[in-house]
Amino acid sequence: MRILDLKDPGQLKTLSIPQLESLAQEIRSFLIQSLSKTGGHLSSNLGIVELTLALHYVFESPKDRLLFDVGHQSYVHKILTGRAPRFVTLRQRHGLSGFQKREESPHDPWEAGHSSTSLSAALGLAVARDLQKESGEVISVIGDGALTGGMAMEALNNIGMRKEKVIIVYNDNDMSISPNHAGFKNHLTTLRSSRAYRSVKRDVKAGLEPSPALLNGLSSIRDVLRDSLVDGGLFQQFGLDYLGPVDGHNLPELIRTLETAREHHGSVVVHVRTRKGMGYAPAQQDRTGQWHGVPPFDPATGRFRSSGCAGEESWSLIIADAVSRLAAKDPRITVLTPAMANGSKLLQFAAKYPDRFFDCGIAEEHTVTAAGGMAAGGLRPFVSIYSSFLQRAYDQVLHDVARQHLPVVFGVDRAGLVGEDGDTHQGIYDIAFLRTIPDVVICQPKDAQEAQDLVYSAFLHSDPCFIRYPRGTTAAKRKDVLEEIRTGTWTWFDEGTPEQIVITYG
């Protein structure tokens, strides 16, 4: 079956396992060739090919609702639901979204560019289904990185106590955007296989004629077997049944396990082990996160095609370098980020000052409040966070940092319009919501030197300071000397006339 001929995922049900395996390789080749021209999220989608095929083989979208947490790993889902011909427009104006998009397809029941929301949304959809006496499964595909988010934990707690059935596919690749550092992932990756439990349960049910009394007894036996043969770990503590771990690149095993989950009564976690970047050596070997979201590249060599101009550096790198320079002289300076170490160019700082660098996982609220605690304890924290992710920590900025007048410096990365990532990532709200908070400083540099000077100036303040800077690059003209820029300072380039004055912010 040709990829461009795929119109509906129901077509997969006519294929044999060898044909599905062949299709998986064709999809990988298609993704590599297509994204080499447009850019996009490569590694996460290469790692989820067989899993997405198995999901659509077992379930019936859109009757069964598939939610992909964050959504940047939904490219294979888009291909299988008839959108392959539109991949030439991926992440372009009026083109195919890089995430699930409700208006784009009936197969996209939920959309999000932020992590850790799918479990709450899945429960909501399941409640709506049951109250309206509808049928169909609700399946959330969530990665180990997204499970470091507190919202995901809140949802697990609620799902475990509810009667509505949700199938949680835990995609365990030991990575979020870059390697996970949270203690939670160490616990999850020790989960043992429940194959023995499933085999015993299947054999007992097949060999005995069931009766109510016998089934009650079998239920008790099942619980003992589960507790002795299956370590469902944290999921089991939440009251959720657990299947796995399953090889995420073994289609027969995936299909059998997902069929078990489909027939199961009550919410269940399917633990799937995958390899991010599977099938493309540069992406599969990457442990820094540079192949998570890629610009156009040469598929033969794996070299990225330059998108910047000669003599320019990214704003993120300029800011990170300034923080590193100051940290060399001030041992109180620490750096925190909610899993954005690579995107915010903080890997060099992390290598140089490992004891002063904190990748908090995808947990923006925790990151900001932890920084507040450090400031209250006498340190000078710098929080690097994307503008659209800072939205998630508004209460912590207001209540835990600003209200206490704690000297936390925030690097608001990706401020302004961000282009290809679309409306979920546009950094266009931070000015509005930060200006509602008393006693904070908001600033934005016009060039590389001013960016460094603003970092230096922010650390001289005793109140929270927010330095906004855009995605992209600027001329890398910087002096060795850092100078203070006082609050309220403006640079006048031309007096002009009243009809010609242009006031810029940054």
Choose the catalytic residue: 78, 276, 345, 471. Answer: 276
| DSSP structure string for 258-286 | HHHHHHSSS-EEEEEE--TTTT-HHHHT-
Determine the 3-state secondary structure of 408 from DSSP.
coil
What is the Cα 249 distance to its own chain's centre?
A: 21
Cα–Cα distance between 59 and 66 in angstroms, integer? 9
Q: Are 368 and 401 in contact (CB under 8 A)?
A: yes
Phi, psi (deg, nearest 5) at residue 163 = -90, -20
Q: Which two tokens stand for residue 127?
A: 């409640």
Please tell me the distance from the alpha carbon of residue 155 to that of residue 238, in angstroms, as a whole number. 10
Q: Which of 91, 101, 165, 392 is catalytic?
A: 392
Q: Does a cis peptide bond (omega within 30 degrees of 0) precede residue 62?
A: yes
Q: Can you list the alpha helix ranges (DSSP code H) found in 90-149?
A: 118-131
Catalytic residue, from 137, 313, 364, 420: name it. 364
Q: Is 446 marked active-site? A: no
DSSP secondary structure of 163-190:
SS--EEEEEE-SBSSSB---HHHHHHTT
Q: What is the Cα Rg of the chain in Å?
A: 25
502 φ, ψ (degrees, to nearest 5): -120, 125
Specify whether the CB–CB gap between 60 and 262 falls below 8 A.
no
Strands 65-68 vs 297-298: parallel, antiparallel or unpaired: unpaired
Sign of CA dihedral 200, 202, 208, 211: positive
CB proximity list for 399: less than 8 A, separation 6 or greater:
none
Active site residue 163: no
Alpha carbon distance 140, 129 (integer Å): 15
Residues contacting 285, CB < 8 A, separation 6+ = 277
Would residue 392 show up in a list of annotated catalytic residues for this protein?
Answer: yes
Active site residues: 276, 364, 392
